[in-house]
Amino acid sequence: MMLTEVDGKGILAAHGITIPRSELVDDDKPWQGSVVPGTISVVKAQVPVGGRGKAGGVVLCRTDDEVRGALKRILGSSIKGHIVRSCLVENAVEGRETYLSIMVDADTGGVRLTFIAAGGVDVEAAAHSGAGHSVACEAQSEAAVAALDELLARESAEVRSAIRPLAIKLIDTFFDKRLILAEINPLFVSKDGAIAGDAKVVLDTNTLELDVSLRALVERSPQTYQEAWRKLHEGFDLVELDPEGRIGLVTTGAGLSMMLVDQLVALGGRPLNFCDIRTGQLRGDPARLIWVLRWLATKPQLRVVFVNIFAGITDLTEFAGLLVEALRRVPELKASLVIRLVGNGESAARDILAKERPDFSVLSDLESAVKRAIEVSR
């Protein structure tokens, strides 16, 4: 789960990392103007995605009128499928732009630190040109600090003295909050020290139950962190993968659902979402199915709902009845349905669906069901 910049910076600041002076602006809290007239400001859309700058969500403003104009354009707009409900108006920072991150390294089972001497919007190009270095190490603070010193050994004494104190605090933040990624880009470096110009912080949603402060971020902004809020309150996983996707998924089992997404993409399909609805927790109540179907019904590009249930303990007879009931209560869903059911009570479930909704495509072979869903989506 990626945090918005303002929430990510809040976590960094709580661990002693210096951030620019800023103000959060939304419809309920309009901007009142610069405290210091003539201050150069940066207006930044607060949405939990990367690449905001290239999408027009970050604007440098030299006057108050430019700030007001940028806020008018950005607030309420959409960036990569996210509605911009707030903006950060931040004092511009001077200094050399660099890049610093620490992240979970799946290849080694440890963590990886990366420093790039030229940060900013073109950091990927700088990294490919050889301006960046990274070091993998064990997932321990002491090992990460040693890796940091190895990275910074290539830099000048001035850069090392400016960055190292902040970088150690970033390492502490990463382990204290059990993060997946803590990235600062740009990290401004000057003779006065280092300042986090931006922050990309990615959480493991499994830690929300363990950390009251992180859970509070989700509870405070349910519209921004819909997927995490849903997991906390509804007890299942639903993640939007492609806002323009045409195939909505109602599936169970995280591994099987990810495999299905891969199969659809490999054959040219466009899955809208990942879903692990956890059929074993339905307990005779269609509420969870109703919630998912209503969410899918709001997506304008949706053409087909692909239901894929491989049942072990789950009784497919009960599931079929709950699905029919959920569809009755979501009349706004106009998409076709392709259903693949395999497992306990499969035959009886097919009979229920055939009687109630003969227009459904009900299959048991996965390959046939995938091809049918793609065909209908087109």
Both tokens of 329, joined, read 């209560």
Q: How many CA atoms lie within 13 A of 176 on its CB side?
A: 13
How do residues 273-290 score in pLDDT, each as one tens digit? 999 988 877 888 898 899
Strand partners, 363: 340
Q: How many CA atoms lie within 13 A of 285 on its CB side?
A: 9
pLDDT at 230: 78
Q: Which residues contact 150 (CB under 8 A, 6 or more apart)?
A: 135
Q: Which residues of the chain have pLDDT under 50?
A: none
Domains contained in the chain, CATH given: 21-91 (3.30.1490.20), 96-203 (3.30.470.20), 235-377 (3.40.50.261)
Both tokens of 120, joined, read 């900013």
**Residue 102's closest CA among 146, 37, 58?**
146
Strand partners, 88: 24, 44
pTM, to two decimals: 0.76
Query: Rounded to whole angstroms, what are the CA distances from 321 to 315, 324, 328, 352, 355?
Result: 10, 5, 11, 7, 11
Q: Are 244 and 254 in contact (CB under 8 A)?
A: no
pLDDT at 329: 94
DSSP state, residue 75 = T
DSSP state, residue 268 = T
Q: How many CA atoms lie within 13 A of 315 on its CB side?
A: 9
pLDDT at 34: 80
H-helix or E-strand containing 61? strand 58-61
To 5 degrees, how large is the angle CA 364–CA 367–CA 368? 65
Block residue for tokens 């006057």? 63
Q: Are 336 and 378 in contact (CB under 8 A)?
A: no
Backbone angles phi, psi at 301, to 5 degrees: -90, -5
Q: How far apart are CA 193 and CA 163, in angstroms?
A: 7
Q: Which residues contact 92 (CB under 8 A, 6 or more apart)?
A: 20, 39, 40, 41, 42, 60
Query: Rounded to whole angstroms, what are the CA distances from 256 to 173, 183, 250, 263?
Result: 34, 31, 12, 10
Backbone angles phi, psi at 317, to 5 degrees: -60, -45
